[in-house]
Amino acid sequence: MSEPLVLGIETSCDETAIGIVRGRTLLANVIASSVDEHARFGGVVPEIASRAHLEAMLPSIKKAVADAKISLNDIDAVAVTAGPGLVGALLVGTATAAGLALGLGKPLYGVNHLAAHVSVDFLTHDLPTDPTIALLVSGGHSSLLQVDDITDSITKLGATMDDAAGEAFDKISRVMGLGFPGGPAIDLSAQSGDPQAIDFPRGLTTSNDWQTRPYDFSFSGLKTAVARYLEATPNYKKADVAASFQEAIVDVLLLKSLAACKASGIDSLVIAGGVGANSRLRTLAAERCQAAGVRLRIPSPALCTDNGAMVAALGSLMVAAGRAPSQSAFDADSSLPVEVVSL
């Protein structure tokens, strides 16, 4: 089968998302988000997310099938996020996918949400994504990966010791009163600020850190530094704080990504996950990768944040690589390690 038609289901957090791809062509990408229901709590509430998935699931599948102009019977395989994520939210997706695959008599692939973030680039750029260094920066995870084969060989080079990059954006946005989710809010506010206004710390970049944990991240010191600055500066300029904070995060993410490219001799970098939508990260990554002779790939902002297309894309790659499907009764795994591409 050269061009598998794959339906992907993503429910790891607050997006009920259905994607349909044929080979590497995106046919439908439907996203129903419950983000507005969580906003007043300042973060995602698992129970609300699970209930919203239940309500949005069938209408979203119907819309995706209509958008793709296919019939459900045409589908060659069903892929679903098996983890990591909120367990109640994941279960809505895995139960739906298992039922759908069983009903259609088609194979089921339970795949890793993080690997799916990386694989979505395959729908945009011509080149294979592997081997590559991948910077995966989302609301729940921040890691540097070496991807030798996106369907079964991912090595973690380093990860955050505390907050994920997106989480740091969300928390700082909250203390600055910029709202939730914080990433887009800080990105917007930073547009009118000076990134050099305040010299915030770059975590884990001392010469000792470069020796002992070159590919790990830490954002807690930065978070504390921003909070102290806000307390000590009653008339602070929001845009300058946003821009300087954003610059500190983006700078360190790229320093470590390019160091990993250099040390591994892999001249390819994929940036994936919600923080990949950040405009400053995209601009600075393009500049620094060009200077270092590294080929950069970042999916469009809409494909960086959670979506179903990424799950379908990884499913399509699994089918094309001849990987074995999952058992229909596999368990969702809320803390699925990044190295486990499928269950």
Q: Report in angstroms how near the CB of residue 64 gets to Zn ion at its nearest.
A: 19
* Closer Cβ to ligand KG4, 150 or 319, answer by number: 150
On whether the CB atoms of residues 138 and 273 are closer than 8 A, the answer is yes
Q: Which partner from the list Zn ion, ligand KG4, none does 271 bind, CB cut-off 5 to 8 Å by kind?
A: none
- Residue 142: strand, helix, or coil: strand
Q: Which partner from the list Zn ion, ligand KG4, none does 278 bind, CB cut-off 5 to 8 Å by kind?
A: ligand KG4
Cα gap 220→168, rounded to integer Å? 8
* Closer Cβ to ligand KG4, 4 or 110, answer by number: 110
Interface with Zn ion (CB under 5 A): 138, 306
Q: Report in angstroms how near the CB of residue 308 gets to Zn ion at its nearest.
A: 12
Residue 118 tokens read as 């990386």
Q: Name which of 140, 124, 117 is nearest 271 in CA terms.
A: 117
Q: What is the DSSP letter of 326?
A: P
Q: Report in angstroms how near the CB of residue 244 gets to ligand KG4 at its nearest.
A: 15
What number of H helices and E strands is found in the chain? 12, 10
* Closer Cβ to Zn ion, 76 or 339, answer by number: 339
Interface with ligand KG4 (CB under 6 A): 13, 138-140, 166-167, 169-170, 181-184, 187, 273-275, 277-278, 305-306
* Closer Cβ to ligand KG4, 217 or 319, answer by number: 217
Q: Report in angstroms how near the CB of residue 306 gets to ligand KG4 at its nearest.
A: 4
Where residue 25 falls (left for φ over 0; alpha for ψ -120 to 50; beta otherwise) is beta
Q: Which residue is nearest to Zn ion (CB)?
A: 138
Q: Which partner from the list ligand KG4, Zn ion, none does 169 bind, CB cut-off 5 to 8 Å by kind?
A: ligand KG4
Cα gap 119→309, rounded to integer Å? 10
* Closer Cβ to Zn ion, 160 or 244, answer by number: 160
Cα gap 135→254, rounded to integer Å? 9
Q: Report in angstroms how near the CB of residue 235 gets to ligand KG4 at its nearest.
A: 26
DSSP per-residue codes, 101-123? HHHHT--EEEEEHHHHHHHGGGG
Chain centroid to CA 266: how far? 21
CA neighbours closer than 13 Å in the CB half-sphere of residue 195: 14
* Closer Cβ to Zn ion, 64 or 303, answer by number: 303
Q: Which partner from the list Zn ion, ligand KG4, none does 121 bind, CB cut-off 5 to 8 Å by kind?
A: none
CB neighbours of residue 244 within 10 Å:
22
* Closer Cβ to Zn ion, 225 or 338, answer by number: 338
Q: Which partner from the list Zn ion, ligand KG4, none does 130 bind, CB cut-off 5 to 8 Å by kind?
A: none
Q: Report in angstroms how near the CB of residue 273 gets to ligand KG4 at its nearest.
A: 4
Residue 11 tokens read as 């429910």
Q: Report in angstroms how near the CB of residue 102 gets to Zn ion at its nearest.
A: 27
